[in-house]
Structure 1
Amino acid sequence: MRTWKRKGRGDGVRIVSQLDSHEAELLASLVSSMCELLTERSDTAPRDALSEVTGIRTGHSEPPDDATLGRLLPDFHRPDQDEQLSAEVVNGRLNSALRSVNEPKIIDAKLSAAHVLLDTLPASGGDLSLTVDEAEAWLTALNDVRLALGAMLGISEDTPDQLPSDHPHAAHLDVYHWLTVMQDLLVEAVM
């Protein structure tokens, strides 16, 4: 991954970079895997008669059991955010209602950003040239992939910058750091 550069002016601004073929393949694999998780979550949402009649989609009312999906689709409200609401109300009815109504739209937005990344990613590496809108979609997708990978690895403030080379997650942590650098450089170019 080379650095991202901003070229042009006004409506003609492009955010450009280059990816090696192995980088493009890795990124496509990570984003595609995340899309599969989100699509499965969406496809398993309960269907109800009111939703069928009104066309208003509803999602799951319960949070995902999977830590990776839980990081991509967190609760909307935590008990520590509002002293006037009990943990029972927040964890039960409030989060369930908010999740049921909003989760389909959130999944759609995440999938849309991921598809922009996949559609603009050169399959065998090479030059990238993105509009500002495409670059912003890339930022969303990169962030989501980082969140997913970080949840799978259990990334926390205590996670070392490097793991011993024989550690089973050493290569995955390197990918996490690569995604972080790619995202940081893209943010700078977009700004």
Structure 2
Amino acid sequence: MRKWKRVEGAGGPRFRSALAAHEAELLSSLVTSLLGMLDDREASAPVDELAEITGMRTGNSVPPQDDTLKRLLPDFYRPATEHPAGSGTAESLNSALRSLHEPAILDAKREAAQRLLDTVPAGGGKFELSEDDAHAWAAAVNDVRLALGTMLDVGSDGPDHLPGDHPMAGHLDVYQWLTVLQEYLVVCLMGNNR
């Protein structure tokens, strides 16, 4: 992957980079897997008769059971201290907020992922993104990193390195590559070329 380059133009900034063929294929595969996870989550939402009547979409009221989806769709509210009424208050609030907002969050994540898929160069090579596309790339790559980082149990304590014969060593390399891709893009979006 080449570093990102910001080019100012009459129609606004453009963001240029290049991916090797295997990088473009890997990124497309990861984002497609992410889309599958998001689609499965949406499909698991119960049918809401009121939503069918009013047209107002509602989503799942319970958090995902899968750790990866929990990371992508965290609770909205976490009390700083134990509530005098018990933990049921926080659960009830999270349930209501999740039901109301999860469909829009899933839509935004899916839209960013699809924009990345629509603009990644098939077979690799040089490419150029609009500012909106670059923001979508940053969001989609972040979601893939969160998912992969959860699977690898990446936290503030690492792991930073795995032995070459570890079954997840290649996955950690991909995670680190995605981190660099995202960091350089965000720096470029902020108007700084390194």
CA shift in 2, pair 1:82/1:98, >3 Å: farther
**2:16 paired with 1:27:** no
Who is 2:65 aligned against? 65
Who is 2:185 aligned against? 186
| CA-CA distance at 1:9 after TM superposition | 2.9
| Gapped regions of structure 1 (runs ≥ 5) | none
3-state SS of 2:33 partner? helix
Q: Is the 8 A contact 2:12 2:131 kept in 1?
A: no
Amino acid at match of 1:138: W
Q: How does 1:46-57 map to 2 (within 5 A)?
A: 46-57=46-57
RMSD over aligned Cα atoms = 1.4
Q: Percent identity, please.
A: 56
Deviations for 1:21-51, whole angstroms, at most 9, x for unmatched residues? Answer: 0000000000000000000111121111110
3-state SS of 1:80 partner? coil
Who is 1:173 aligned against? 172
3-state SS of 2:112 partner? helix
Q: Is the 8 A contact 1:57 1:101 kept in 2?
A: yes
| CA-CA distance at 1:10 after TM superposition | 4.4
Q: Which moved more, 1:68-77 or 1:82-91?
A: 82-91
3-state SS of 1:11 partner? coil
Who is 2:125 aligned against? 126
Q: What is the CA–CA distance in structure 2 between the aligned matches of 1:74 and 1:9, rounded to whole Å? A: 38
Q: Is the 8 A contact 1:79 1:85 kept in 2?
A: no
Q: What TM-score do you get using the length of structure 2 for normalisation?
A: 0.94
3-state SS of 1:158 partner? coil
Amino acid at match of 2:105: I
Q: What is the CA–CA distance in structure 1 between the aligned matches of 2:105 and 2:156, rounded to whole Å? A: 27
Q: How many residues align?
A: 190
Amino acid at match of 1:36: G
Deviations for 1:96-150, whole angstroms, at most 9, x for unmatched residues? Answer: 0000010000000000000000000111101110001100010000110000111
Amino acid at match of 2:146: L
Amino acid at match of 1:46: P
**2:149 paired with 1:150:** yes
Q: What is the CA–CA distance in structure 2 between the aligned matches of 1:40 and 1:138, rounded to whole Å? A: 22
| Gapped regions of structure 2 (runs ≥ 5) | none
